[in-house]
């Protein structure tokens, strides 16, 4: 095997490649390789695995077996040199080298050259010399560090960090649209590939200046003109398209996030714009407020725990209690008219009153005590007390339900006196008052106080008339 060391041409090859590598490194800025040659650089991520393993095995055998197989060392050295050269060619593509890439390049070159040096020492029979052994140890460290930097370039600098809770800081009140919203979206979805250390498509998105500067496809955003903004175009492309961003397999942006970026660009892509500068009915304001409001599931995760056994105990033939979904502690309760009504069936739900999110008591002969109970269910989001005997007085008692989103009081005796109380439900989105004593005036007042509220008060007269008239299709017999 040692005869291999005597083969001249191998030595010349190693020497030649080392010189070429040094030449490339020294004259980097003057080199412009032909297209096919620079394409060879793309093979770097493939070939690099060989020298890593082969060098590791070579060092291992050198320490354990007291000699290294010549073929092994030669292959390791040659692949190391070819890897370093191809890596260099690949690195030529990047116009601006980040820190990581700079160190990776030079340490990688170091690996290749030290390997060549080791080969030379072996040919001179200094394989077991203490100096060569030290060289081998240094080589292993170089391989490790070079490899680590290389991995960081491809996978992101934080790749090996312990997975930490990905919760981002809460968005502050009156946020700056660029800094707190748009930048946050870009950070969550784009920065892993478009940062100074890894500039895919030569684009960096970590600052507004870089966004405007753009990358190999030109400027990524065009202030005031969403249609011309390449960033948006890529987001809107269908997922199957090669140019769609983020790439398939990575976390995609939600439609809300894409809309926010579009609106921000169309308003001038400014970095001084704040939420309060916008009018409340502007789409961007609505989207940002929606993004800032806490996730539904998170709200329900702070509810007290309720056991299945409790639910089973409180349920009955006419009272259905179920979790809204899965194993959440948010409960939805529905009661149907029993042959003999017993208020206790409702009142004993007191034990779980804080878990009740939806409550349907329609059609039941409920009275003051039951209303009192309902008023104590402060987490209630949807309440149905239609077709009951409640009055304006009872509605007043329900003003404790601040989280109420939907309220059905159809077919009851409530009247205009309740409009003031109803206006005070700040979270109310849907109100059903069909067949009540609330006059058109009362409805208008309610709508005026709460323009966002959807009020269903029955079918409009003209629609009803249109339904009832004989229709135009004659049934020919």
Partner 1 sequence: MEEKISKLESPLKINRRHFFSQLSTGIGSLALGSLLIPDLLSGGAPKAMPNQPLGIPHFAPKAKRIIYLFQAGAPSHIETFDPKPTLIKRMGEDLPDSVRNGQRLTGMSSEQAKFPLMPSAVKYKQYGKSGAWVSDYFPHIGKVADEICFVKSMHTDAINHDPAITFFQTGTQQSGRPSMGSWMSYGLGNENKNLPNFVVLTSKGKGISQGLYSKLWSSGFLDSKHQGVLMRSSKDAVLYLNDPDGLSRSDKRHLLDHVSSLNKIHHVETGDNEIESRIAQYEMAYRMQMSVPDVMDIKKEPQHIIDLYGEDSQVPGTFAANALQARRLAEQGVRFIQLYHQGWDQHANLPNDMAGQAKDVDQASAALIMDLKQRGMLEDTLVVWGGEFGRTNYVQGESFDPKNFGRDHHPRAFSIWMAGGGIKPGISYGQTDEFGYNVVKDPVHVHDFHATIMHAMGLNHEQLTFKDQGRRFRLTDVAGNVINDILT
Q: Which residues bind partner 1 (CB under 8 A)?
A: 295-298, 301, 317-318, 320, 322-327, 334, 336, 339, 362, 384, 386, 406, 408, 410, 430, 432, 434, 456-459, 463-464, 466-468, 471-476
**Cβ neighbours of residue 232 under 8 Å, at least 6 residues apart?**
221, 226, 258, 261, 262, 265
Question: Mutual orientation of helices 130-155 and 49-65 as an angle, nearest 10°?
Answer: 150
Minimum Å gap between C-beta 135 and partner 1 is: 44
Minimum Å gap between C-beta 241 and partner 1 is: 17
DSSP state string for 85-144: HHHHHHHHT-SS--HHHHHHHHHHHHHHHHHHHHHHHHHTT-TTSHHHHHHHHHHHHHHH
Q: Which is nearer to partner 1, 230 or 349 (CB)?
A: 349
Cα–Cα dist 122/141, whole Å = 20
Minimum Å gap between C-beta 419 and partner 1 is: 18
Q: Which is nearer to partner 1, 289 or 296 (CB)?
A: 296
Q: Which is nearer to partner 1, 103 or 318 (CB)?
A: 318
Minimum Å gap between C-beta 397 and partner 1 is: 21
Q: What are the backbone dihedrals phi and psi of residue 432, each rounded to the nearest 5 degrees, phi first?
A: -115, 110
Q: What are the backbone dihedrals phi and psi of residue 322, each rounded to the nearest 5 degrees, phi first?
A: -145, 155
Report the b/e string of 266-294 with b at 16+ CB within 10 A.
bbebeeebebeebeeeeebbbbbeebeee
Contact yes or no for 260/280 (Cβ under 8 A): no
Contact yes or no for 326/301 (Cβ under 8 A): no
Minimum Å gap between C-beta 300 and partner 1 is: 9
Q: Which is nearer to partner 1, 173 or 462 (CB)?
A: 462
Q: Which is nearer to partner 1, 62 or 406 (CB)?
A: 406
The three-point CA angle 92-186-236 to 5° equals 90
Q: Which is nearer to partner 1, 32 or 251 (CB)?
A: 251
Minimum Å gap between C-beta 189 and partner 1 is: 13
**Cβ neighbours of residue 266 under 8 Å, at least 6 residues apart?**
224, 225, 226
Contact yes or no for 423/404 (Cβ under 8 A): no
Q: Which is nearer to partner 1, 28 or 248 (CB)?
A: 248
Distances (CA, A) of 351 to 229, 275, 304, 306, 354: 56, 42, 11, 10, 8
How big is the chain by its Cα radius of gyration, in Å? 36
Minimum Å gap between C-beta 336 and partner 1 is: 5
Q: Which is nearer to partner 1, 132 or 430 (CB)?
A: 430
Minimum Å gap between C-beta 302 and partner 1 is: 11
Q: Which is nearer to partner 1, 173 or 298 (CB)?
A: 298
Q: Which is nearer to partner 1, 183 or 386 (CB)?
A: 386
Contact yes or no for 410/435 (Cβ under 8 A): yes
Taking the C-alpha atoms of 46, 51, 54 and 56 in order, what is their torsion angle to the nearest 10 degrees? -120
Minimum Å gap between C-beta 324 and partner 1 is: 6
Minimum Å gap between C-beta 2 and partner 1 is: 51
């Amino acid at each position: 095997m040692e005869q291999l060391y005597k083969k001249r041409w191998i030595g010349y090859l190693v020497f030649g490649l080392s010189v070429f590598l040094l030449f490339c490194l020294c004259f980097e800025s003057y080199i412009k390789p032909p297209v096919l040659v620079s394409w060879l650089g793309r093979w770097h991520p493939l070939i690099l695995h060989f020298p890593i393993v082969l060098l590791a095995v070579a060092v291992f055998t050198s320490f354990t077996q007291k000699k290294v197989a010549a073929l092994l060392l030669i292959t390791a050295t040659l692949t190391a040199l070819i890897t370093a050269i191809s890596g260099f060619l690949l690195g030529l593509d990047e116009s601006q080298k980040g820190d990581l890439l700079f160190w990776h390049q030079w340490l990688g070159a170091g690996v290749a050259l030290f390997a060549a040096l080791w080969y030379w020492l072996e040919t001179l029979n200094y394989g077991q010399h203490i100096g060569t052994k030290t060289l081998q140890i240094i080589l292993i460290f170089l391989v490790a560090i070079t490899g680590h930097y290389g991995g960081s370039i491809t996978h992101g600098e934080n790749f090996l960090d312990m997975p930490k809770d990905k919760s981002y800081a809460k968005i502050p009140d009156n946020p700056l649209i660029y800094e707190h919203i748009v930048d946050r979206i870009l950070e969550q979805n784009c920065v892993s590939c478009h940062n100074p250390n890894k500039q895919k498509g030569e684009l960096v998105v970590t600052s507004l200046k870089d966004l405007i500067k753009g990358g190999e496809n030109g400027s990524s955003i065009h202030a005031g003109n969403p249609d011309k903004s390449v960033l948006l175009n890529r987001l809107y492309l269908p997922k199957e398209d090669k140019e769609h961003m983020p790439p398939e397999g990575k976390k995609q942006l939600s439609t809300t996030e894409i809309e926010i970026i579009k609106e921000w660009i169309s308003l001038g892509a400014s970095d001084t714009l704040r939420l309060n500068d916008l009018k409340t009915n502007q789409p961007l304001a609505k989207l940002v407020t929606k993004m800032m409001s806490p996730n539904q599931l998170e709200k329900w995760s702070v509810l007290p725990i309720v056991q299945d056994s409790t639910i089973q105990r409180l349920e009955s033939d006419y009272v259905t209690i179920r979790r809204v979904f899965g194993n959440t502690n948010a409960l939805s309760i529905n009661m149907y008219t029993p042959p003999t009504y017993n208020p206790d069936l409702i009142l004993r739900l007191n034990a779980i009153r804080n878990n009740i999110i939806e409550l349907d008591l329609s059609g039941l002969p409920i009275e003051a005590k039951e209303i009192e109970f309902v008023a104590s269910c402060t987490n209630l989001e949807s309440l149905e007390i239609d077709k009951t005997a409640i009055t304006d007085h009872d509605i007043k008692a329900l003003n404790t339900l601040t989280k109420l989103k939907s309220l059905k009081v159809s077919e009851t005796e409530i009247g205009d006196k309740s409009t003031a109380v109803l206006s005070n439900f700040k979270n109310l989105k849907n109100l059903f008052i069909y067949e009540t004593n609330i006059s058109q005036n009362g409805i208008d007042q309610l709508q005026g106080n709460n323009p966002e509220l959807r009020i269903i008060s029955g079918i409009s007269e003209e629609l009803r008339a249109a339904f009832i008239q004989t229709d135009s299709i004659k049934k020919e017999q």
